[in-house]
Amino acid sequence: MLFEAHSINAEHKDLIHDVAYDFYGQRMATCSSDQFVKVWDQDEHETWNLTATWKAHSGSVWKVTWAHPEFGQVLATCSFDRTAAVWEEIVGEGTAPGERGMRHWVRRTNLVDSRTSVTDVKFGPKALGLLLATCSADGVIRIYEAPDVMNLSQWTLQHELSSKLSLSCLTWNPSFSRQHPPMLAVGSDEANQSLGSKVLIYEYNENSRRWAKTDSVPGVTDAVHDISFAPNLGRSFHMLAIATKDVRILTMKPRQDVVVQSGQPRFDIQTVAQFEDHYCTVWRVSWNVTGTILASSGDDGCVRLWKCNQMNSWKCVSVLKGDGTQACTISGAPTAQGTTSSAQTSSSAPSRKFAESAIEKSAPLTSMWQPAVIKGRFTKRTWIGAEPAPPPSAIDKSKSYARK
């Protein structure tokens, strides 16, 4: 793989807890223990500009996530301060110079139902309407709904499910259909192995209009830190990545003949990959847009990219890690004067581009290509007709290959 990079100084004065990109990858929201949320926009020159920064919570902001753009420019955050919040960007209507077109983010709602830290927050698939699920350290999953998608200040708590396990992460299944009812999975970072599976599956029952736990993933009894459903490309099964003491990829095939709550497992769950390459706890997993590459971040300070080959076996294709020796200091980074809801645009720090050039070293093949490869009729001479002319037969041949 070959990459081109733009590095920006995120201007949080501490570690970033979470970065979320919008649907297109054109906007970026960051959150940190400084309790601020920042929004960055990419301009047509692919430069990232800080367009908003505001204090969102009274505790560290754990996670930030975007809603589908069909619902406008909407963010949700969750925090140590036991709340989750929904934010909407609005464009000012003021007529004063400089005021028109100003954007700022307003808090549309503050979800204060949890009595403990809200550890994850995710918007549901858009086809279900505007749904927001949260999970918290006391083991409660809450599903909120904005009944009128054009009015984000009204949210109703539709469902409250208690899992009896301290929850750390949740993921919506992006696909559902007649065969697949709405589904989400939660993970628990409860270390006690005797409490059983740490990954629980919940499904919505259309008839009872309720969410219920329909299955749990066997064999995952260690603490789970992150969990993510892969996009479904027309498959009949679901694919779930789990960050626990190792990285796991599971497939889940719904069993056709099983009556829910009959005590039988609802899914045929198979582990298709299990990697211990991090040699330690895995914190995060993230799928690329088509669900073909999984990124896992471990306590070993590495990110690994996993890809499925044609034989349906998963292999590590890249390892990314930090290197302080190369760190270039980025000077002159303008600091955004961090007023709440500031709409000022401060240009990002000079970005850098770095190419891990596959040509030189990463792809095994080129390095093994024979060095003196230009033996054929591909020398300058042949192509531009410089002296001396190639033998007549050569000319004839190259003519015979003339494109039609």
Partner 1 sequence: MVKRFSSEGKDAKEDPSSSSQTILIPDELCEKAGLTLQWSGIGELGIHAFKHVDKLSIDNPSEFAPTDTFVHNLRTDSILFEPVIRKLVNESNGTFLAVQKLTPSTSARSETLALSRQYRSIVRACIENLQISELDKNTTYKLTPQQRQHYVAIFYNIEFIWHLCEILFVDSVPGAVVLPHLLDWIRFHFPDTERAAGQILTGPLETGAELRNSDYWDVVIGLIMQGSLEPARALLRLHSNADSECFLQAESLLKTLPVFKVYGGLSTAEFRTRWHTWQTNVSTKVESGVFTSEKNLNTVMKIISGDESSVNDMKSHCETWYQLLVAMLLYKEPTVKTFELNRYATSCMGYFGGPERMKVLDEIIMDLFECNILEVIKKLHLSSDSGWAATHLTNLLHYCGRLNIDSQAYDSRLDENLLIEYGCLLMSHNSLWQVGVTYLDHCGPQGRACLELLLPRLKPGSESRTLKIIQIAAERDMPNTVNSICKVQGMRCLQRKRIGQALCWALKSQDPGFATHLADKLLLEYTKGGTFNCLDLLDNLGSCMLISDRLTFLGKYCEFQQLFRNGATREAAVLLTSLFTSKLCPKYFTLSLLMDSLPLLESTDVTLLSAEDTSNLLSCLEELADDCASSANQAAVMDKIKLIRLAMNKNLAKSLIFEACHPQILD
With CB under 8 A as the contact rule, the residue among 259, 321, 337, 396 that binds partner 1 is 321
With tokens 């307003």, the residue in question is 106
Q: How far is the CB of 59 from partner 1 (least distance, A)?
A: 5
Q: Which stretch binds partner 1 (CB under 8 A): 196-204, 244-252, 260-268, 376-384?
A: 376-384
> Position of tokens 């033996």?
375
* Window 29-68: contact mask with partner 1 (x via CB under 8 A): -x-xxx-----x-----xxx----------xx-x------
Q: Which of 106, 157, 195, 319 binds partner 1 (CB under 8 A)?
A: 319
Site for partner 1 in 251-290 (CB under 8 A): 281, 283-284, 286-290
Chain residues 177-216 in contact with partner 1, contact rule CB under 8 A: 189
Which DSSP state fits 380? H
Sheet holding 247-254, edge to edge: 226-229, 238-243, 247-254, 267-275
The site for partner 1, by CB under 8 A, has a size of: 141
Among the listed residues 9, 10, 47, 60, the one whose alpha carbon sits nearest the alpha carbon of residue 30: 10
Residue among 40 and 211 whose Cβ is closer to partner 1: 40
Residue 384 has φ and ψ, to the nearest 5°, of: -110, 5
- Would you tell me how many other CB atoms lie within 10 Å of the CB of residue 137? 19
Q: How far apart are the first and last CA of the chain?
A: 34
Minimum CB distance to partner 1 smaller for 142 or for 304: 304
Smallest gap, in angstroms, from Cβ of residue 216 to partner 1?
21
Member of 97, 391, 396, 399 binding partner 1 (CB under 8 A): 391
Least Å distance, CB 308 to partner 1, is 9
Which segment (105-113, 156-164, 253-261, 382-390) binds partner 1 by CB under 8 A? 382-390
Cα gap 140→136, rounded to integer Å? 6
Which amino acid is present at 81? D
Residue 349 CB-half CA count within 13 A: 16
Q: Could you give the string, one character per residue 221-250, with x where binding to partner 1 holds by CB under 8 A and - elsewhere?
A: ----x-----xxxx----------------
Q: Is 197 exposed, middle or buried (0-12, 13-18, 19+ CB in 10 A)?
A: middle
Q: How far apart are CA 126 and CA 174, in angstroms?
A: 9
**112 touches partner 1 by CB under 8 A:** no
- Closer CB to partner 1, 209 or 380, in the complex: 380
